[in-house]
Amino acid sequence: MRSGPEFPCQEEERIPCQNCGFIFPRRSCYDYHLVNSAPLEMVRRDTRNFASICQMRRICSNCHLIIYAQQAHECQQQRQQPQINCKMCNGPHTEDQPCFIQPLKPDEDEQEDANENNNEQQQQQRTRNHRQPIRLCFFDAETSQDEPVQISQNINGYRHEPLLIIAEVICEACIRAGIRIENVGQRAQGCFCGTPRGERWRNWCSPPFRNAPGDNTAFPNNITFNHRRMFFHSFDNAEDNPVDQFLDYLLNHGSQHMLTICIAHNGGKYDFHLLLEALHRRSHPPTRICTTGLKIYSMSLGGNNQRKVLFKDSLNYFFCELDALTKVFALPEDLVTTKPFFPYLFIQRQHLHCRLRGLPEIQYYQPEYKKAEKREKLIEWYVQQTSVQTTNFQLREQLIQYCVNDVAILRESVLRFRQLIGENTKNLDPFLAVSTAAGLALTTMRRCFLPENWLVHSPEGGYLRGRRASAESQRYIRFFELQHPESAGQIQHAQWALGEAHVEDCGYRLDGLWLRSPPLRPLAIEYMGCYYHGCPKCFPVRDQRLAAGRTAEELFERTQQRLWELEHQHGYQLHVVWGHEIKEKLRNNTQLRRKWLEIDCVRPMDPREDCLRGGRTEPFKLHHLCAEDEEILYIDIVSLYPYVMKARSFPVGHPNILTRDTLLLPPNNPLPWTTPKHNIYKGLLLVRVEPPNFMNGNLPPVLPYRTHDGRLTFPLCAKCADNRQQRPCTHGGRERSWLTGYTHEELNYALERGYKVVDIYEVWNYEKWDPNLFRSYVNTFIGLKQQASGWPDGCASELDRAEYLAEFERVEGIFLDPEKIETNPGLRMIAKLLANSLWGKLAQRVCGTEIRYAKTPAEFHQLLEDPTIEMLDFDHVSEHLDRCVVRKKPEFAKAPNTNCLPVAAFVTSYARLHLYEYIEQVNQIGGVLLYCDTDSIIYVGKRNGQRVSEGEYLGQMKREVPSRRILEFIAGGPKNYGYRHVDASTGLDERAELKIRSFPLSYATHQLLNFNTMKQLVLNQFNVDGAVDDTIADDVFFVGNSIGVQFPQIGRTRRSQLYTHLARKEYRPCYEKGRIMPGMETLPFGHRMNNTQTSHGQINQQRQTRSPIPPQQKRPRLNMNELNLQDLPGSSGWTEADYRNRYNP
């Protein structure tokens, strides 16, 4: 193959070779492939006989594979599929047979969880049979913030400089022997904790207390020399970097025949970045690193014949702050003390040796940025400490004690967690096996509960993912018709009843065929997906394996042969377009891209894109103030996901894939489907559904729909949802309907409530269903959780306890051992974690970013030229090291071998249906829905009236605040609400709660953003006279109706530099789930009023007769300095009569 700036050649004509079967774009290429002498630049004395390209390879006329001269070829043998050792399930089977998620044997080491990239999985696989002894290292880093730094043009902050790292090590042998860190001098047989050798190592093991000259204060006597505890610091010399010392210890001291697992709490966002910055500076990149954005999940150091170190973040296993772990694991006070308050802003080098009488000023503790309860405790503690005359404070001394205590809390928590996991999962080591709680749950399932050849690994993109190029070709043909109006309706393609056009004699299928009037020849339209046709521009490495395992050169030559035959043997005129050509046009033309995306194109079902959705989260009314006979009830479902996993049936085995040509034939029921009996399938269905004009009983819609911009909505019109249309719906049936995938359970439920299936395209029909797939798993950990919760209140006598055990076994089918029922917060946390974290791991995303390092220009350019990845970002982190952020192209991205998307889709579908059943209960008792959030409902009911059924068992509703009466509710959107409540018995002790996702609700935040100000913002934005579209043009709400909150935040750069800056977030109400109506009520997009409906009906009728408010009379922008709630509807001064007077003049 020739190379250079003028290659590959531009096509001038198609010249086939009768000998080898290849087609050449110009005469010079054809002549070159016949040359049987070596080029001059290759001629040497020892040059062998040179064969021409034509003699070296040819295309088989039967199977169209490329055959090389030295390769034996028999078509019949090529077509046979030999058995392979499957990389997915480690079992022998042919390529087209199903793969399974196989159980892990108890005596084999576990793989790293699929969060890690494929290289890490391969490394774990290589070390399976050579498991090294393990040493655990617990560490914590403390930094100073002396140096101002400018991160960007708009961000200024203070850089974190490492000042102290304390690390404690203990090996497996000592852990098994019951030896603790405090047992100085004791060692187990075969101990490899390490023995201090050399003056430097011994200095590391000595606590670095030191007083300033003239200060004779005694040092604390509870921290002494310990060969398992190291102090790395720069107290006495700013040039002695603690991180470099720590890395030197890990990489250059101790046995080479062990694996050190270093654990830090929140290390992925803090401590690991200090290490990574030092590694960048040394041009010593980690062997492997797993990240999401700038968060590090795990990191490895060391290669062959080197000390191996693995870094894990404990926060990924138990999701709570470090100070909460003392209660969670009930740590003894003789080992650790409760994590005290510390003046982080006081950590500056100039303060190290100054001994203060009392404590640093309270602003160094940042009380305003703590939550209100924690702030009160801080102030109380500070007053108490400063009132003691003997209190003194030296930063160096206090920093050592504080850090030692932090490491002790971490050490004892991890060891207790590791012990509890091992006892309940057949000695599984969580920190060796996985990096997250979700990975731990799935590994436990595979190790202890999963039978062989049962749970299926589903292919990413669906079983018919190879036809996605065909779907893109259909989109292009529709696009071609828009550009050539004279061809509209005349191009035969796959969506015609006749199907794609077939070419006689050769069996070729055409993407599109336009039979034009003579003398014009028929136009064959061919859309070439680059991956499926071996595009030489996108895949310059011609021996790279692409679609169907064939090389790029094979695919391209087959394509060229096909095009030549169509043009010269069958007389078609060709219109050929490559996928990358379309992408370039769309990338540079916004208007063209919009038209392209608006084309409705049927593609093969992808369970991730079409069927997998999260929970239902939306407000139904943006504000409600209770009347005297009303109260607001906040209820949530007990363990929703564990319940549906235990109580429902799930598909196992591989499905039968049915396509549209089969689904429209008997015995299938004719379309449209209007009742569940029309659907004879069980599994996943790709359908076009048409919603009803309205839902009976004022219930919310059933089926979810993801809009073009990614919002998960529950509308009654797709067009309205896509456009966020606040006006009444005027769209026709085709515009109201949408195409997506659903489980048969959710679809049948919707058919019972007025939905229709107007077209069907693909079905995954499962014959095998398992109602017990997760039952034993869930029962095990729910039982452990219940036992670790202790006896419930009121179970003091033996009779009460016996009744409780019998009732729990009757309802849940779980036997509780009375001897093991005792309060154990650590075990309860672990059981709850494992019970709730499993299903999400079955649907882990692909195409995540990876960090790769290049040490030489050759490695960097190799990454740039790698056709399987796309370079997203790179940074020159040191003189000899480049940090590159890459992502696998979708064609080459491999899904984790533990994914089972259909099962995950059924879990979320069952959960939404279970929540909807309770929503229907609210309607049946005459309640008013206010809000729902995945597993919870907020509704209005009459005091002492009917209630939604409640209970204590799995899947039942439980009151969130049973001793309180909620009086008022306000919502600014999904995951964005608040409520005001009082004591239910006395009506006193008024409080307010805010629930705002990803927003820091500290004391300082509450001074600006609280229930009253949030209510003011919501009312100012959404409460209008008449429908929103009468007063606001083009469906646009107020701009600038927000509150800005500042708070300190730790940031990270691409070079892993840490800094603190004063961040700012804007809070504003945002509701995009439906139409906003008078009275702060909402309606789903596309809702059409029924003549018999009373909800909103009278208001709408009055709105039509009311004159629109002129644009100049819109509500003015909110002035945050003037918060007056009394004159706005919904405030505490408004009554139900005020509402009627306002909306019924």
Beta bridge partners of 659: 762
End-to-end Cα distance, the chain: 84
**DSSP letter for each residue of 193-262:** S----HHHHHHHTS----PPTT--PPPPSS----TTEEEEE-SS-TTS-HHHHHHHHHHHSS-SSSEEEE
Report the pLDDT value the prediction gives residue 337, as an integer from 0 to 100: 77
Give yes or no for residue 1126 having a pLDDT over 60.
no
Task: Decide: 118 and 131 in contact? Cβ < 8 Å.
Answer: no
Report the pLDDT value the prediction gives residue 489, as an integer from 0 to 100: 81
The 3-class SS string of 116-146 reads: CCHHHHHHHHHCHHHCCCEEEEEEEEEEEEE
H helices present in 925-1024, as ranges: 1003-1008, 1011-1022
Burial grade of 154 (CB within 10 A; 0-12, 13-18, 19 or more): exposed
- The residues, ordered by sequence, that sit 6+ positions from 1095 with a Cβ below 8 Å of its Cβ are 698, 1081
Mean predicted confidence (pLDDT) in 643-663: 91
Give residue-wise pLDDT tens across range 34-60.
876 655 544 454 545 567 778 777 777
Structure tokens at 155: 């961000």
Report the pLDDT value the prediction gives residue 206, as an integer from 0 to 100: 93
**Distance between alpha carbon 408 and the CA centroid of its chain, in Å?**
32
Q: How confident is the model at residue 1113 (pLDDT cuts 50, 70, 90)?
A: very low
Report the pLDDT value the prediction gives residue 132, as an integer from 0 to 100: 83
Q: Percent of the chain having pLDDT more than 70?
A: 85
Report the pLDDT value the prediction gives residue 468, as an integer from 0 to 100: 60
**DSSP letter for each residue of 1068-1112:** -----SEEE-GGGBEEETT----TT--TTHHHHHHHHHSPPPPGG
Q: How far apart are CA 920 and CA 922, in angstroms?
A: 5
Q: How confident is the model at residue 388 (pLDDT cuts 50, 70, 90)?
A: confident
The alpha carbon dihedral of 316, 319, 324, 327 has a sign of negative
Number of H helices, E strands in the chain: 34, 45
Q: Which of 186-200, 717-731, 759-773, 1037-1051 has the lowest mean pLDDT?
A: 1037-1051
Comparing 194 with 884, which gets the higher pLDDT? 884
Three-state DSSP at 164 gives strand
Give residue-wise pLDDT tens across range 697-749.
889 999 999 998 889 999 999 999 999 999 999 998 889 999 999 999 999 99
Structure tokens at 147: 């140096």
Three-state DSSP at 295 gives strand
Give yes or no for residue 10 having a pLDDT over 90.
no
Q: How confident is the model at residue 1001 (pLDDT cuts 50, 70, 90)?
A: confident
Report the pLDDT value the prediction gives residue 73, as an integer from 0 to 100: 62
Q: How far apart are CA 454 and CA 10, in angstroms?
A: 52
- Within 10 Å of residue 591's Cβ, how many Cβ atoms? 7
Q: How confident is the model at residue 491 (pLDDT cuts 50, 70, 90)?
A: confident
DSSP 673: B
Give residue-wise pLDDT tens across range 949-992.
999 999 999 999 999 999 999 999 999 999 999 999 998 999 99
Q: How confident is the model at residue 459 (pLDDT cuts 50, 70, 90)?
A: confident
Report the pLDDT value the prediction gives residue 781, as an integer from 0 to 100: 95
- Within 10 Å of residue 59's Cβ, how many Cβ atoms? 20
Q: Which domains does the chain have, with CATH numbers?
A: 15-79 (no CATH), 118-207+219-435 (3.30.420.10), 465-603 (no CATH), 849-888 (no CATH)
Report the pLDDT value the prediction gives residue 1104, as an integer from 0 to 100: 31
Q: Which among 869, 794, 784 has a CA at the least distance from the CA of 832?
A: 784
Report the pLDDT value the prediction gives residue 704, as an integer from 0 to 100: 97
Report the pLDDT value the prediction gives residue 1097, as an integer from 0 to 100: 34
Report the pLDDT value the prediction gives residue 3, as an integer from 0 to 100: 56
Q: Which of 14-18, 369-373, 1049-1053, 1101-1105 has the lowest mean pLDDT?
A: 1101-1105
Structure tokens at 870: 């796309």
Give residue-wise pLDDT tens across range 301-312.
987 778 899 999
**pTM for this one?**
0.83
Beta bridge partners of 357: 392
Report the pLDDT value the prediction gives residue 569, as an integer from 0 to 100: 84
Tell me the one-letter amino acid at 1099: I
Structure tokens at 1122: 């003037």
Mean predicted confidence (pLDDT) in 666-687: 94
Torsion, Cα 951 952 956 962, to 10 degrees, reads 60
Integer CA distances (angstroms), 779 to 42, 440, 808, in order = 72, 17, 12
426: left (phi over 0), alpha (psi -120 to 50) or beta: left
Give yes or no for residue 367 having a pLDDT over 50.
yes
Report the pLDDT value the prediction gives residue 72, as an integer from 0 to 100: 56
Give residue-wise pLDDT tens across range 224-265.
999 999 999 999 999 999 999 999 999 988 888 899 999 999
Strand ranges, E, within 671-716: 683-690, 705-706, 712-713
Q: How far apart are CA 197 and CA 180, in angstroms?
A: 21
Mean predicted confidence (pLDDT) in 319-325: 89
Task: Decide: 718 and 735 in contact? Cβ < 8 Å.
Answer: yes
Q: How far apart are CA 38 and CA 50, in angstroms?
A: 6
Q: How confident is the model at residue 75 (pLDDT cuts 50, 70, 90)?
A: low
Give residue-wise pLDDT tens across range 103-131.
887 655 444 443 444 444 444 444 443 46
Q: How far apart are CA 525 and CA 563, in angstroms?
A: 11
Mean predicted confidence (pLDDT) in 1115-1129: 40
Q: Pairing state of beta strands 259-264 and 134-150?
A: parallel
Structure tokens at 415: 């060891």
H helices present in 566-623, as ranges: 579-588, 590-598
H helices present in 33-117, as ranges: 53-56, 75-79
Q: Pairing state of beta strands 92-93 and 683-690?
A: unpaired
Q: Which among 266, 402, 399 has a CA at the least distance from the CA of 337?
A: 402
**DSSP letter for each residue of 306-371:** S-EEEEEEGGGTS-S-GGGHHHHTT--TTT--------GGG--GGGTTPEEES---GGGG-GGGS-
Q: Which among 932, 929, 948 has a CA at the least distance from the CA of 940?
A: 929
Structure tokens at 838: 């499993």
Q: Which among 798, 795, 816 has a CA at the least distance from the CA of 806?
A: 816
Give yes or no for residue 335 having a pLDDT over 80.
no
Report the pLDDT value the prediction gives residue 1141, as an integer from 0 to 100: 46
- Within 10 Å of residue 390's Cβ, how many Cβ atoms? 5
Q: Percent of the chain having pLDDT more than 90?
A: 52
Q: Which of 3-12, 63-72, 558-567, 1089-1098 has the lowest mean pLDDT?
A: 1089-1098
Comparing 552 with 1085, which gets the higher pLDDT? 1085
Tell me the one-letter amino acid at 725: Q
Task: Decide: 541 and 552 in contact? Cβ < 8 Å.
Answer: yes
Q: How confident is the model at residue 851 (pLDDT cuts 50, 70, 90)?
A: very high
Q: Which among 464, 493, 746, 460 has a CA at the least distance from the CA of 605?
A: 464
Q: Which among 1088, 1091, 1090, 1093 has a CA at the least distance from the CA of 693?
A: 1088
Report the pLDDT value the prediction gives residue 673, as an integer from 0 to 100: 95
Structure tokens at 177: 């022997």
- The residues, ordered by sequence, that sit 6+ positions from 698 with a Cβ below 8 Å of its Cβ are 923, 1093, 1095
CA angle 711, 712, 717 (to 5 degrees): 95
Q: How far apart are CA 20 and CA 1042, in angstroms?
A: 71
- The residues, ordered by sequence, that sit 6+ positions from 200 with a Cβ below 8 Å of its Cβ are none
DSSP 296: E
Task: Decide: 447 and 110 in contact? Cβ < 8 Å.
Answer: yes
Give yes or no for residue 438 having a pLDDT over 90.
yes
| Residue that has been written with the tokens 């014959």 in this structure | 767
Task: Decide: 1087 and 691 in contact? Cβ < 8 Å.
Answer: no
Buried b (16+ CB within 10 A) or exposed e, 960-984: bbeebbbbbbbbbbbbbbbbbbeee
Which backbone phi and psi does 175 adopt, to 5 degrees? -65, -45
- Within 10 Å of residue 547's Cβ, how many Cβ atoms? 16
Give yes or no for residue 168 having a pLDDT over 70.
yes
